[in-house]
Amino acid sequence: MKELKVAQSAGFCFGVNRSVGMAEKLLEDKGMCASLGQLIHNEDVVRELTSKGLRVIERADEARPGEDVLIRAHGAAPEVYEELQKAGAVIHDATCPKVKAIHKIVTAAKEKNRFTVVIGMRNHPEVEAICGWCGEHKVLENAAELEQWLDENPCYWEKPITLVVQTTQTNSNFTECCNVIKKRCTNPEISDTICLATSTRQEEAARLASDCDAMVVIGGRHSANSVHLAEICREHCPCVEFIERADALDMDRLKTADTVGLTAGASTPAWIIKEVRNKMSDEIKVEESAVEKEKSFDEMLEETLKTIYNGDKVTGVVVAITGTEISVDLGAKYSGFIPTSEFTDDGIKVEDTVKVGDTIEAVVVRVNDVEGTAMLSKKRLDAAKMWNAVEEAVDNETVLEGVVTEENKGGVVVNVKGVRVFVPASQTDLPREADLAQLLKKTVRLKITEVNKARKRVVGSIRRVAQAERRERIENIWNEIEVGKKYHGTVKSLTSYGAFVDIGGVDGMVHVSELSWNRIKNPSEVVKVGDEIDVYVIALDPEKKKISLNDDFVDTYITAVTEQEDAMPITF
C-alpha cells in the first residue's frame, strides 16, 4: 500500500457526540444514569460508559423513580416521554436536533390532516420514534415499495401527503422515492430530512471509493448509517472491508491495493479510527497522502467539532424548515436554528425565500451547551449589514425599500431590513391631514436623509422618492405624447366644463363636449371620479407646456398631481 486516504468526515457526528457528551457529564456529576436503549450503535463505547455507571434499559417502565434517563439521539415517541414521567424518571433529552426537526414536520402534517409517508428502515428506533409523532402514516423502505403501495392504494393519489426521510438514508433512495411520489400524487409536500452529516459522509465515501483500490469502513453492524456507507463504497470499489474495530481488519486483503481509503460511521469514536489507522500504518509502510500531511487526524476531527460563540457570524446549510424555525447545519458542535421571528421582519414567508439545501448566513444569538444548540438570527445580521448600507445611502442618495411597521403622532417607522427608519409625517407624501395608518404594512421606497449611528436614529423621506418618480413619469409622458395618442386614465375630478383625467402622473382635461356623442350638460352625467376611461390627445403645446385649444375648448392649465412646480398643461 502506497497511500492511505482518511475521509475528513469520518467518525462521530454532532448528534452522537452530543449524546455521548451528555452521558459522560451525567456520569461525572452523579456517578450513574440510564439510557433508554443502547446510547449509540457502538459496543465499545457503550461498554466503557456502562463501566462508569450507565444502565441500559429497554422500556420506559424499567426506569426507577428519580433516575436520570437519557433519551438517545434517535429520539422517542411522545408516549415514551409520558411513561418516563409516570415512572418518576428525570428526563435528559439527547434527541438529535435534526431528528427533532422531523418530529416537528410530521406533527405539523398531523395538525393539517396530511398523511405522512416515512422513508426509512421499518424497525429502526429513529423511524419508530418518528411514527409516534405522526398522525396517519406509512413507513416504506424504498421507491419500489412506495410504488407498489401507491399502485395498490389509488385512494392516496389525491390525498395531501407529507414525505419525510430517515436522517441516515442515501440520497439516491430519497431521490427515487421523490420521483415516484411526484409522478403519482397530486398534493405531495416533500421534506429532505437527510442529515447533512450523513450526506456529506456518503458523498465523500463515494468519492474516496472511486479513487481507491480498497476501502475500509468502520462501524457497527446495527448502525444504519455505517451499513449504508459500506453499501455506497461497494458500488464504487471492488474491495470493501466493513469492520467494527481494528482487530477485525484482515490486512491480507489490502496487500495488493496501492491506495486504500478509510471512513467510519457516525457512531465510531475517534480512538477506534486511530487504532485502525495505526494498525494499517504499522503493518504496511504507508506513504501518507498530501491531505494527511497538511493536517493531523486530531486536527481534522477538531475542525468538524468547532466551537462557536455568541455574536459570531456563521454560515450553514438549511436542513429543515418548519412552521416555527429553520434548522441550519453549521458543521460545528452545535446544531443551529433560526426561529421564524428571527428570520426577517419584512413579512415575507420563509418558504418563499429559502429552501432546504440553501446556504444561509446568520449571527449567533445564544449558544446552549447543554442542549448543543445555537439560536441564530438572520434578521440581526441583515440589520448589521444594513447599517453600513444606510450610511452609504445618505451620501449616494440611494433609494431603499422597507415596510411601514408603526405609525405615531410625528410620522411613521419603516423597517429597512432590520433598521428602523423614522419618516416624519411631512415626508410621507400623504396630504397634510391624511391618516398615516393607511401606510401600515405597505412596502415603500425612501431616501435616507439623516443617520446618527450612536443614537441609532435614522430619518428618511418617502416624499423625495415619490417626487422624483413623478417628475420622471411626467417627463416621460411629455417626451412621448402626441396628438392622436391613446391613453388609459383615471378620472380625478369633475368641473362643470369637463373631467380631469390622470394618465399616469399628468392630468389632462376632457371637455364636456368631448365626453359623449350626445349633448350633455354636466360631465357627471357620463363619468364619475375614479372611473377608468380611454382618452385621445387632441391638442397640446409642449413648448409652452400650455394647451392650445380649439374654439370649442375652454382655455385652461392642467396641473400635475403633485405640486405647482410640476404643473404641466395637456388636454385630450
Q: Which is nearer to ligand F3S, 92 or 98 (CB)?
A: 98
Q: Which is nearer to ligand F3S, 43 or 406 (CB)?
A: 43
- Contact between 523 and ligand F3S per CB under 6 A: no
Contact (CB, 8 A) for 232 and 209? yes
Give the HSE-up count for residue 16: Cα atoms under 13 Å, Cβ half-sphere.
26
Residue 228's contacts (CB-CB under 8 Å, 6 or more residues apart) are: 168, 169, 170, 198, 202
Residue 99 lies near ligand F3S (rule: CB under 6 A): yes
Shortest distance, position 17 Cβ to ligand F3S, whole Å: 8
Site for ligand F3S in 40-79 (CB under 6 A): 73
195 counts as binding ligand F3S under rule CB under 6 A: yes
Residue with smaller CB distance to ligand F3S, 15 or 569: 15
Given 33, 34, 57, 96, the residue binding ligand F3S (CB under 6 A): 96
- CB-based contact 500:492 (threshold 8 Å): yes
Which CB atom, from 197 or from 326, has the smaller least distance to ligand F3S? Answer: 197
Distance in angstroms (rounded) separating the CA atoms of residues 480 and 468? 19
Closer Cβ to ligand F3S, 200 or 428, answer by number: 200
By beta-carbon proximity to ligand F3S, the closer residue of 46 and 383 is: 46
DSSP string, 194-234: --HHHHHHHHHHHHHHHH-SEEEEE--TT-HHHHHHHHHHH
Counting contacts by CB under 6 A, is residue 197 touching ligand F3S? Answer: yes
Q: Which stretch binds ligand F3S (CB under 6 A): 8-16, 206-214, 281-289, 372-380?
A: 8-16
Site size toward ligand F3S (CB under 6 A) is 15
User: Which three-class secondary structure state does DSSP give residue 82?
Assistant: helix
The three grid cell numbers given for residue 226, joined into one nine-digit string: 455505517
101 class by beta-carbon count within 10 Å (0-12 exposed, 13-18 middle, 19+ buried): buried
CB of 368 to ligand F3S, least distance (A): 16
Span near ligand F3S by CB under 6 A; candidates 14-22, 62-70, 456-464, 533-541: 14-22
Whether 126 sits among the annotated catalytic residues: the reply is: yes
**The one among 4, 13, 76, 243 contacting ligand F3S by CB under 6 A:** 13
Which H or E run includes 401?
strand 399-408
Q: Report whether 345 contacts 418 (CB < 8 A).
A: yes
Angle separating helix axes 196-211 and 224-236, nearest 10 degrees? 30
Write down the least CB distance from residue 266 to ligand F3S, Å. Answer: 4
> Residues 429-468: x/- map of binding to ligand F3S (CB under 6 A)?
----------------------------------------
Instruction: Please write down the HEC assignment for all residues of 25-70.
Output: HHHHHHCCEEEECCCCCCHHHHHHHHHCCEEEECCHHHCCCCCEEE
All cell numbers assigned to 177: 422515492
Query: Cβ-closest residue to ligand F3S?
Result: 15
> Least distance in Å: CB of 196 to ligand F3S?
7
Please, what is the minimum distance in Å from the beta carbon of residue 284 to ligand F3S?
31
Query: Minimum distance between the CB of residue 166 and ligand F3S, rounded to whole angstroms?
Result: 9
Q: Tell me the chain's radius of gyration from C-alpha atoms.
A: 34
Query: 549 to each of 137, 426, 510, 546, 564, how far by Cα in Å?
Result: 77, 37, 12, 9, 21
Residue in this structure with the C-alpha cell 413507513, named with its chain if needed: 139
Residues 284-343 that bind ligand F3S (CB under 6 A): none
- Please select the residue that binds ligand F3S; options are 5, 41, 92, 98, rule is CB under 6 A: 98
**CB of residue 274 to ligand F3S, shortest distance in Å:** 20
The distance of closest approach from Cβ of residue 123 to ligand F3S in the complex, given in angstroms and rounded to an integer, is 18
Q: Which of 8, 198, 263, 327 is in the footprint of ligand F3S by CB under 6 A?
A: 198
Q: Looking at residues 200 to 229 of the shown chain, list those that interact with ligand F3S (rule: CB under 6 A).
A: 225
Nearest-angstrom CA–CA distance, 481 and 570 = 9
Q: Give the residue, chosen from 14, 115, 174, 242, that forms a contact with ligand F3S under the rule CB under 6 A.
A: 14
Tell me how far, at minimum, the Cβ of 335 lies from ligand F3S, in Å: 7
Candidates 10-18, 241-249, 430-438, 562-570; binding stretch for ligand F3S (CB under 6 A): 10-18
Q: Compute the C-alpha angle 536/541/547, nearest 5°.
A: 75
Which one, 203 or 392, has the nearer CB to ligand F3S? 203
Smallest gap, in angstroms, from Cβ of residue 167 to ligand F3S? 4
Residue 167 found at the interface with ligand F3S (CB under 6 A)? yes
Quote the least distance from Cβ 367 to ligand F3S, whole Å.
17
Q: Which of 306, 265, 269 is nearest to 24 (CA)?
A: 269
Q: Which is nearer to ligand F3S, 98 or 184 (CB)?
A: 98
360 binds ligand F3S, rule: CB under 6 A: no
Task: Give me the sheet containing 259-264, strands edge to edge.
Answer: 240-243, 214-218, 259-264, 3-6, 287-288
Q: Does 266 bind ligand F3S (CB under 6 A)?
A: yes
Comparing CB distances to ligand F3S, the nearer of 97 and 418 is 97
Q: Could you say which of 7, 8, 15, 261 contacts ligand F3S (CB under 6 A)?
A: 15
Active-site residue identified among 3, 126, 204, 244: 126
Choose the binding region for ligand F3S from 192-200, 340-348, 357-365, 429-437 (rule: CB under 6 A). 192-200
Buried b (16+ CB within 10 A) or exposed e, 436-457: beebeeeebbbbbbebeeeeee
Dist CA 226 CA 234 (whole Å): 12
> Measuring CA to CA, which residue among 258, 233, 256, 255 is closest to residue 243?
233
Q: Which of 16, 233, 318, 362 binds ligand F3S (CB under 6 A)?
A: 16
Give the whole-angstrom CA distance, residue 59 versus residue 36. Answer: 7
- Which distant-in-sequence residues (6+ apart) come within 8 Å of 254 by Cβ? 1, 214, 216, 239, 241, 260, 280, 284
Residues that bind ligand F3S (CB under 6 A): 13-16, 73, 96, 98-99, 167-168, 195, 197-198, 225, 266
Residues with catalytic function:
126
